[in-house]
Amino acid sequence: MRMYDIITKKRNGEELTREEIQFFINGYTDGSIPDYQAAALLMAVYFKGMSKRETAELTMAMVNSGETVDLSKIAGVKVDKHSTGGVGDKISLIVIPLAASLGIPVAKMSGRGLGHTGGTIDKLESIPGFRTELTREEFIGNVNKYKMAIAGQSGNLVPADKKLYALRDVTATVDSIPLIASSIMSKKIASGAECIVLDVKAGSGAFMKSVEEAAELAGTMVEIGKSLNRKTVAVVTDMSQPLGHEVGNSNEIIEAIDVLKGKGSEDERQVALTIASYMAVLGGAFEEFEKAHSALEEVIRSGKAIDNLKLLIQIQGGDPDVVDNTEKLPKAKYHIEVRSKKSGYVDSIDAESIGISAMLLGAGRKTKEDKIDFSAGISMKKKVGDKVAVGDILCVLHTNLGNTAEAEKIALEAYGIGSTEKKIVKYIYEVIQ
């Protein structure tokens, strides 16, 4: 078999066989297929797409490129949740303690942030002492005993995705539905999940800019799940502006705490309750979504949800006191107010730009090697639909850096101010089961 022929076939819009897909994934993972040939194939896939069968086979070839996690020692139906990535997305921080408080075993593997999107692992590490590197035994033991654990992805889980993602990142081939779907689903399957709830983001801060594209990605992932015997539900949610009011790391922890205490932003509350309700249904705790939803509302009202977050922090080595004394979390030295130069109504906020601005302030990484400043970030004082006058604070930038001119400019330009009030706002567009 020759890589040249596989590239030609896909370039001409033909379907690849399982053997051809495996040849590509195995050869790229072991280094016998060079970057330039892999990049050519990725670009051909970008333009010509893949059938459902090809996408499922690509997913399985990626799963088999490395280790897989055996969660069979955990009692009950294991549920995982994954987001396609966004700005201000702290939903995992909320749903893990929520779903676990209904007795659902949540075995969560999460990633780090890159570029304009944040990562749950980085956010949690802003809590003093919190450990995200757990041994297999500790991870399994915690899920069995406390119904929850969260860890960074282990070194050799889906190595094909690590190499391919880095290549896609520099060859403009990230936003391809079969490539995103196989990347996400391979990691979920390799990490042992039986049931998967996907939060597929749509809008300016997401890979999929329109709801239609996001729904197509959602449908593709649900199909992959079905073909591999994993119960999968995908919820298409809004990322046309940052989620909630905080973008960063320690400030996002504070906002997640607020939601678990029954406060917080309505968009986050709705998205988190929806995702956690589907986790409860797939995990078998409830037959009906509405019943799961009511039970979760009660879990928040009763204080059980926030107690469970304290427990999660404690069992992973962190200081649970941060929940009631958030000043123990890292704080930045400088707080720069970005003020409106126009009056009217906020009619858009480019979420990707806000993510880039936060990254420039130190909250994210330009390259994988960059170190994060957990205290850096942005507080969104105005969101879509809000009225503004000239001089009003749109957002506040938190940083320890001296020069923030570029971050300020990007944050200001992210805001679109119009003359009529925009009545939104849909937080949840579609559910695909």
Q: Are 231 and 197 in contact (CB under 8 A)?
A: no
E strands, 203-244, are: 231-238
Among the listed residues 22, 101, 120, 183, the single contact to ligand URA using CB under 6 A? 183
For residue 323, give Cα distances in angstroms to 203, 295, 298, 327: 31, 23, 20, 9
Q: Which helix (H) or strand (E) holds 63?
A: helix 52-63
Among the listed residues 22, 84, 232, 250, the single contact to ligand URA using CB under 6 A? 84
Determine if 222 is a binding residue for ligand URA (CB under 6 A): no
Which parts of 146-165 interact with ligand URA (CB under 6 A)?
A: 165
Determine if 180 is a binding residue for ligand URA (CB under 6 A): yes
Cβ-count burial of 301 within 10 angstroms (0-12 exposed, 13-18 middle, 19+ buried)?
Answer: exposed
Nearer to ligand URA, 121 or 184 (CB): 184
Nearer to ligand URA, 207 or 286 (CB): 207
Least separation in angstroms between residue 62's CB and ligand URA is 11
| Residues 279, 287: Cα–Cα separation, whole Å | 11
Determine if 330 is a binding residue for ligand URA (CB under 6 A): no
Number of residues that bind ligand URA (CB under 6 A): 9
- 270 is written with which tokens? 């709705």
Q: Which helix (H) or strand (E) holds 47?
A: helix 35-48
- 126 is written with which tokens? 């802003």
Determine if 184 is a binding residue for ligand URA (CB under 6 A): yes
Least separation in angstroms between residue 212's CB and ligand URA is 18
Nearest to 246, CA basis, from 397, 95, 127: 397
Q: Known catalytic residues?
A: 82, 161, 168, 183, 187
Placement of tokens 């390259």 in the chain: 367
The region of 178-186, 215-223, 401-409, 413-421 touching ligand URA under the rule CB under 6 A is 178-186
Nearer to ligand URA, 139 or 207 (CB): 207
Per-residue binding letters, 285-324, with ligand URA (x by CB under 6 A): ----------------------------------------
Q: What Rg do the C-alpha atoms of the chain give, in angstroms?
A: 21
Determine if 377 is a binding residue for ligand URA (CB under 6 A): no
Nearer to ligand URA, 179 or 394 (CB): 179
| Residues 305, 199: Cα–Cα separation, whole Å | 21
Determine if 38 is a binding residue for ligand URA (CB under 6 A): no
Angle, CA 186 vertex, CA 225 and CA 125 arms, to 5°: 115
Point out which residues bind ligand URA (CB under 6 A).
Answer: 84-85, 165, 174, 179-180, 183-184, 207
